[in-house]
Structure 1
């Protein structure tokens, strides 16, 4: 079976979750458009490329499919998982990676737009932010849950909610609460209980870490330097004896000699022999390594250290040799016997979600949706992930084939009409300065490029080519 035939089977599998048969053409057209090397993957340029002789009608059909049709984006992601996840080999480890990503957006009426931190811009600005959960293995990763973060002012604005089609059941929730709810849903559906990875934006929240432990999940999450712990070998006195009135005391007692300390202060107090060089990944040009120390600590609650005594866990400290102080801190509930090289390897698996976002935004138009509504935002994201999922599955299968070579299977796609200028192209776009995150990636593959899904359908004259490896 060739790639084109597998793509047809994949779309047939996904289409079974759409409900009505008249939506199948929309699925095929939209996914095909997302896999083309267009500079802008919003509805109009995709419609013109997929069906140039009937661009206006196809534009309307695709717009209705993504923005109006009542199919479930959650069911779409579930079916993508059913196709891709069985091809992943988690025998050497599996991880849940929690993160969020931003999409610059102007105006007040696009759903969820507010002035907030946007990682894509590296600063506060008007944007939308979505929380995602990816399932990762040593071979790759795939987003399996996705939800827009709705800021408080949006959640409380009934008029804007109604215009954007925000479901009545959606209320304000923090990003950590969204992530935990999505994770609980995945586990209730039978998902495996892998270790959870997240950056300090999530890991610094003690309630988030406790919720993961309550779900029976291990974690390795980033924290800030201000997090307070009881250092190794230091254990506070038990709480005051219960007087018989009110709630029993739970806060450990401290003395001048028994005090918690910030993880930064603890790191600075460690002798140099506590640190060692550890490698965690074979990069393209060099092996990635760093200087680390790992000690057993107990979290001491908030910055004031006022909370009940917690079980011991790992504090992993990354301190580059030439820096004045540590650069990263992680708390982990991996077993006490876990060697430091494994701690480092697990903590640094989170980079995979950054590759997911990069590929989805650059190659699959994740941030190109131009609509304002809740449904369209989630539908477009699910379809971008679906297109990405097919190429991920192809790469996973190819990796298992010894001596597999790149193959090229052609599919007919009509050429663009002469002089057609899609909306959002540079010919019509406003000036954007030096910032352009939506430029189509180069189609040249370097000979020393690392193994990864080649996420483009490349047109050659009047044909489009699947590229897999």
Structure 2
């Protein structure tokens, strides 16, 4: 059941947005001009503007030039990490749940020139090939209420990170050193732990699941995870030695269909329930012990329609954790892809024309706030619809004749 959109509802959203930007802008800016420019930019990003660069956003909001937005993103004095913290607090206040998950993934921005900070010929997840692009590791918070970005990093390729001229031209701070993408996710995880973000599992694709340092960080801090891992993940074999995860599947297949597990859904996608054949086995990862009281479980997911399409997940969870919850967590990973899609297509997440370090972080974080606002309004709409459905059910029961 969906809640009908009404004029009063849309007006209430407008009031909510004004209250949100006013509350955040108050302590963030010392002058009224950047406060207003900030509120205007958030509102413009949420509007139906074809190309969300500063000039078109300014034109939509009624500014004669883009100078106010350009000043806000570049020269104005304000703390973008304080805004990031406000975005996180807003998301957790409305979407936070004890069983929520953090999801790590990259998004990419394809560029034409070589002047933008972090741009290089590198793998682009958007096209699946090497492109001249920027790569942005992002962290999404997801629960049954909804999902939104809560943290972000810009990946600096090693060559650019070590080039003093490029760093100076892009305004990269001196303390920023080269970090791999998994290391950037570790940095963000540390920030979420310090902020008290409530989550049960970290979820990510194979690019992160294969990294032993990220897994070790979780083991050292007793953090649960359900990470996609490569077929060659080294496991301790039953008879000693080391074998790749793929050999486990080979042995199961040799047992016949009875050894392939059971058919379960891992959530709802755009085409309905996403159903796969799943197998779960206790495993020992070579050279990496779990946290005390935790175990490693290997999940094997096979496509129903194309059984040769197989994906492996490694779970690090407290002993005795039921497997269905791990399958649900494995299915949550796609939610960050939805954030990436909405952020780019609706909110101009990568439509910026900024080239330097500070403007990049400011634009992306303001876009994160716009996405968080949409996620919270959507969650409230769903809650209202569920409440209305419940009331309708109660009324129908009460109106049913006795006997």
With the shorter chain as reference, the TM-score category is 0.7 to 0.9
Aligned to 1:72: 79
TM-score by length of 1: 0.75
SS of the residue aligned with 2:50? coil
SS of the residue aligned with 1:81? helix
Q: How far 1:215 sits from its partner (Å)?
A: 1.9
Q: How far 1:197 sits from its partner (Å)?
A: 0.7
CA RMSD of aligned residues (A): 1.9
Checking the alignment, whether the CA contact within 8 Å between 1:13 and 1:79 is kept in structure 2 is no
Alignment of 1:10 onto 2:29: no
SS of the residue aligned with 2:284? strand
- State which drifts further: 312-321 or 218-227: 312-321
Correspondences of 1:311-390 after superposition (within 5 Å) = 312-323=295-306, 325-390=308-373
1:387-438 C-alpha deviation (Å, 9 max, x unpaired): 1111222122222224679xxxxxxxxxxxxxxxxxxxxxxxxxxxxxxxxx
Whole-Å separation in 2 of the counterparts to 1:149 and 1:282: 32
SS of the residue aligned with 2:97? coil
Whole-Å separation in 1 of the counterparts to 2:169 and 2:347: 27
Whole-Å separation in 1 of the counterparts to 2:209 and 2:124: 19
1:324-362 C-alpha deviation (Å, 9 max, x unpaired): 635200100123423332221111111110010111000
Q: How far 1:377 sits from its partner (Å)?
A: 0.8
Checking the alignment, whether the CA contact within 8 Å between 2:275 and 2:304 is kept in structure 1 is no
Aligned to 1:124: 130
Checking the alignment, whether the CA contact within 8 Å between 1:14 and 1:80 is kept in structure 2 is no
Alignment of 1:220 onto 2:220: no
Alignment of 1:55 onto 2:38: no
Whole-Å separation in 1 of the counterparts to 2:191 and 2:266: 32
Aligned to 1:114: 120
Task: Assess, with a 3 A threshold, how the Cα gap between structure 1 residues 299 and 98 changes in structure 2: closer, same or farther.
Answer: same
Unaligned stretches of 5+ in structure 1? 235-256, 301-306, 406-469
Q: Higher helix share goes to which structure?
A: 2
- State which drifts further: 319-328 or 73-82: 319-328
Aligned to 1:282: 268
Q: How far 1:136 sits from its partner (Å)?
A: 1.1
Whole-Å separation in 2 of the counterparts to 1:156 and 1:87: 41
Aligned to 1:416: none
**Number of aligned residue pairs:** 370
Task: Assess, with a 3 A threshold, how the Cα gap between structure 1 residues 291 and 298 changes in structure 2: closer, same or farther.
Answer: same
Whole-Å separation in 1 of the counterparts to 2:162 and 2:96: 44
Task: Assess, with a 3 A threshold, how the Cα gap between structure 1 residues 164 and 173 changes in structure 2: closer, same or farther.
Answer: same
Aligned to 2:57: 46
Aligned to 2:397: none
Q: How far 1:280 sits from its partner (Å)?
A: 2.0
Unaligned stretches of 5+ in structure 2? 1-10, 389-403
Correspondences of 1:165-180 after superposition (within 5 Å) = 165-180=171-186
Checking the alignment, whether the CA contact within 8 Å between 1:134 and 1:353 is kept in structure 2 is yes
Instruction: Identify the match of residue 162 of structure 1 among 140, 165, 168.
Output: 168
Whole-Å separation in 1 of the counterparts to 2:349 and 2:95: 23
SS of the residue aligned with 1:160? helix
SS of the residue aligned with 2:64? helix
SS of the residue aligned with 2:336? helix
Whole-Å separation in 1 of the counterparts to 2:231 and 2:184: 25
Checking the alignment, whether the CA contact within 8 Å between 1:96 and 1:133 is kept in structure 2 is yes
Task: Assess, with a 3 A threshold, how the Cα gap between structure 1 residues 278 and 38 changes in structure 2: closer, same or farther.
Answer: same
